[in-house]
Structure 1
Amino acid sequence: MRAGHAIAVFVVVVTLAALLWPSRGTLSPRPTVRIAVWGMPFEDRLFRDRYAKRYQELRLELFIDYERYHDELLMKYNAWHTRGRGAEVMRLRVTDYHGMVGRGMLEPLSKWINDPEIGLSKAQKEAIPPQLLAALTIDAEVYALPQDNAQFGMFINREIFRGHNAEHPKDAIEIPGPDHDWTWSDLRAAAKKLTRRDASGRVTQRGLDFTVWSWPFINFFKQAGGELWSPDALTCTIDSDAGVEALAFMRALQRDDKSFDPNLAGYLSATGPDVLFAAGQTAIFFDGSWRIPNIEKVNPGLDFSVVHLPRGRVPAVVSGCVCWGISSKAANKREAWRMLSWLTDEPQAAEYWDTLRVAPPANLAVINSPAFRSARGIEKVFGPSDAVPTNVPDRYEVLPMSEAMFADRAQWLLYANTPHALTGRPPGFVPVNLYETEMEEEVTRMLNEYLREGSTLSEREALTRVTRNIHRLIDRDRKAKGLPPARRSEP
């Protein structure tokens, strides 16, 4: 077969794979509720075994059709929607949420939430973190309910801290605990003291490290008092004093203190910030809650803890979430809602933490209960002839967390959901907007130039470039929809 024909056949096969509608449910005489998720094979232990199969046992009159996909799930959602079909229960990323709502792909949930017969109870409504509900509200309507709330945190190598304190008892640094009140100044001072170099000036121990992408900037920006978007969500407002302050702080860490040496290869590098921290070469590391189980597996002996982020002018913690929604084209919306509301209820939210432990469940009742203080993880499945590893990490897909580990691994996650004394509001926030993904991609590109060694790009020039590019994209999109350019005041 010629190369051109082979490529054409491949394209057709891939396209059909995206468009084809799973047919197992059509073989059942019972009403079908299809649940679509993405994830690793071991995540079937939660989504299939604890969710789909258990709900099937509760609702024998239904056929629960469970489907797990990979990262192509959004493409399938779009293809199914184009064909007038959709899954009853859809797992989706908050970064895709506004776009899916804009394309009419998601069922409005207010009528179901407030249904007198099958709606959410008062306790269920109060269990949803208010900042997450606000992030999902579009024109007074909600189109999905949050499942989890992944958060950005500060990872601490306690061995490095203790080593410094032993060498410099008169200049000791207190190891921050779950209730610390570090500010930017505390972070700078500690990171500078904990950075070490050899005789040639090469960094041998990093005081502070994080992957160069949008979240660190967004967090510093919000902590400087900034707002990402205008009230009408059509003007990106990072080109502001808060934006300048956030970038200047990052450059001060890099050039003045020399405690932050950006690795612009990011997570794709074998020597990226996450790899170096897991190897014990970094004192302070910023990353997401999802990184904790990974580090435990990679280096079980690493003495580390995780705490909430230091605050700037205001306390703020950037976070994300995964949601459950219903396709606007779903055949059985009432049954879809009944399963969705069951998935977000307290027992199932607790199961999410008990197995995956990558993010706290989006349920205040759970995170403030004993169920959040430990987790069983996911054990690997071994066959009769398999040699079962003797060391614990190799016997688990996700390691368990004992109650004794709670203060070091999970207590910090309460901070983002607890009203802060300075503001009266929870510090956690989810950056969302119809154009949020594009804006964050622009920010990441900008940071890679701004933090490049020797870069002369100024803070204002960097921020202006981001806003101009994203505004052009917004106005092109509006033009394609037959709308005029957004009205905004900018050079």
Structure 2
Amino acid sequence: MIRLITLGALLLLILRMSYVTLRPPVEARTTGPVTIEMSVWGMPWENDLYTKLYIPEFERQNPDIRVRFHHFEDYGNRVLLSHAGGIAPDVIRENIDFSIGWTKRGLNLPLNRYINGSDGIDRKDFIPILWKGLEYGGDTYGVPQDINLLGLFYNKELFDKAGMAYPDASWTWKDLQSAAKKLTQGQTVGLDMGWGGGTFRPFVYQAGGRFWNEDGVTTAIDSPEVAEALRYYKSLMRGDVALTRSNSLRGGLGPDKFFQTGRVAMFVDGSWLVPSIKKAAPDLRFGLAPLPRGAQASTISSSCHWSVSSQTRHPEAAWKLAKFLGNTEALKEYWQMLWVAPPARWSALRSEEFKNVKGAPGKIPGIDSQAEFAEKCGWIPQVLENGWTSIEFCNPYTNRLMLHLNEAVDKVLLENADPATVLKAAKVKVDKQIAEDIASEKAANRGGA
């Protein structure tokens, strides 16, 4: 134990030393610009968007502020280590899948006083559900940047050969099953989809279910709607659907790789894959549609946003940068270059620039025509304008939920267990662990008081 503590202390000391040249202490001053830092993840060539476009323009508009840029690999661990060492970047790009846990641990600065202040932003210009994912304890902890969606990819050539109409928003669960059966020919599988609680989540919403009760600390997965969703998910395990538990069982290849080679007619995955599929298979004729509906239309989303570190010594300057990175023009430019996730603002989503995807020369292809935009991206505004997506599953205790939900899904798919029975058992486990977590947190708070 002593050795582990010593190694941990040494790691933090090394990390602090490595930042000496990167982040000297910022002292209170009356003249000269202040320096703040920001961090991102992603492909290294994406850095140009920040270093050559965003930061120079921000510094031009704010001559009293300088921005030091960091691109981190192993992003989550690097940010957490920097917080542990007291040297966190001032503005941090985060994703709601993990940021709510960081907020709960006190890593992010509450922003309501800035968002709602004289130098604030118009909340109404953002897709409403995104604010829900940033709220905790009555405050808001980020500025939305984008939103991604799960959709139905389809191979137009295979549909044409089968004499079938392309998927659209009118498709139902029954249509999906029927099409998968008709499109399964020879070595081609009608529908491919990853296995587990992750891909199961949109079916819960389509069945009219939800993951959390209103209290946010007990799960609602024992409802009849969730059981119905799991029964339908189980029904997809047949010869015309490849519901694969692990990509390692197929040589490390996911559904998108088989889709690119014409071995899969349809698959379910995220909007972020569209540019990479076009690049990898430039001759592939494909489109996307909203996920088929059950009792209602729905998919699931995630989102990236800009948070301000609770350790920042320049909160006003950090807020200005977070606000700038979430402005309409910045979001348009982000989408036009990368087009992996739609912009978080209605003003960007409804703009003409949204339809003019340029890509990044040599890195990401653009969109060549309005017809191509309609087939690959036209479904996105349709889903968002109609409110057909949810991030309700995001919660400080989502990790507890997903652990036992995955177990329940496995039991139904592998052991033919009754969905209602295993979901009720999973609820008991989830609620018990969350109650224990809350009790431990309260005890720790009392001990630290």
TM-score (normalizing by structure 1)? 0.82
The separation in 1 between residues aligned to 2:15 and 2:428, in whole angstroms, is 35
Cα gap change, 1:54 to 1:310, in 2 (>3 Å): same
8 A Cα contact 1:212 1:444, kept in partner: no
Deviations 1:429-474 (A, max 9, x none): 113100113322433344344333xx32221243234323323331
Q: Which amino acid aligns with 1:182?
A: W
Deviations 1:336-384 (A, max 9, x none): 11111111111001011011111101111111111110221112xxxxx
8 A Cα contact 1:95 1:432, kept in partner: yes
Q: How does 1:85-484 map to 2 (within 5 A)?
A: 85-116=87-118, 118-120=119-121, 124-165=122-163, 173-177=164-168, 180-197=169-186, 204-255=187-238, 258-266=239-247, 269-379=251-361, 396-404=362-370, 405-419=372-386, 426-430=387-391, 431-452=393-414, 455-482=415-442
Cα gap change, 1:267 to 1:286, in 2 (>3 Å): farther
State the shift of 1:224 in Å: 0.6
Q: Give the secondary structure class of the aligned counterpart of 2:244.
A: coil
State the shift of 1:60 in Å: 2.9
State the shift of 1:15 in Å: 5.0
Deviations 1:391-422 (A, max 9, x none): xxxxx211112342210111111123213xxx
Q: Give the secondary structure class of the aligned counterpart of 1:208.
A: strand
The separation in 2 between residues aligned to 1:63 and 1:244, in whole angstroms, is 54
| Structure 2: gaps of 5 or more residues | 27-31, 445-449
| Root mean square deviation of aligned Cα | 2.5
Cα gap change, 1:149 to 1:18, in 2 (>3 Å): farther
Q: Give the secondary structure class of the aligned counterpart of 1:323.
A: strand
8 A Cα contact 1:45 1:378, kept in partner: no
Q: Would you say how many aligned residue pairs link Structure 1 and Structure 2?
A: 433
The separation in 1 between residues aligned to 2:150 and 2:244, in whole angstroms, is 19
State the shift of 1:207 in Å: 1.0
The separation in 1 between residues aligned to 2:83 and 2:12, in whole angstroms, is 14
8 A Cα contact 1:40 1:70, kept in partner: no
The separation in 2 between residues aligned to 1:427 and 1:162, in whole angstroms, is 28
The separation in 2 between residues aligned to 1:76 and 1:271, in whole angstroms, is 29
8 A Cα contact 1:156 1:305, kept in partner: yes
2:29 corresponding residue in structure 1: none
Q: Which amino acid aligns with 1:125?
A: R
Q: Give the secondary structure class of the aligned counterpart of 1:152.
A: strand
1:35 corresponding residue in structure 2: 38
Q: Which amino acid aligns with 2:329?
A: P
The separation in 2 between residues aligned to 1:469 and 1:331, in whole angstroms, is 42
The separation in 2 between residues aligned to 1:450 and 1:15, in whole angstroms, is 45
Deviations 1:183-210 (A, max 9, x none): 111111111211224xxxxxx2111111
User: Which piece of structure 1 moves more, 358-367 or 235-244?
Assistant: 235-244
Q: Which amino acid aligns with 1:188?
A: Q
- Could you tell me which of 57, 62, 69 is aligned with 2:65? 62
Deviations 1:267-301 (A, max 9, x none): 88433312111111111110000111111122111
8 A Cα contact 1:211 1:267, kept in partner: no
Q: Which amino acid aligns with 2:161?
A: G
The separation in 1 between residues aligned to 2:129 and 2:261, in whole angstroms, is 35
Cα gap change, 1:57 to 1:264, in 2 (>3 Å): same
Q: Which amino acid aligns with 1:231?
A: E
8 A Cα contact 1:132 1:429, kept in partner: no
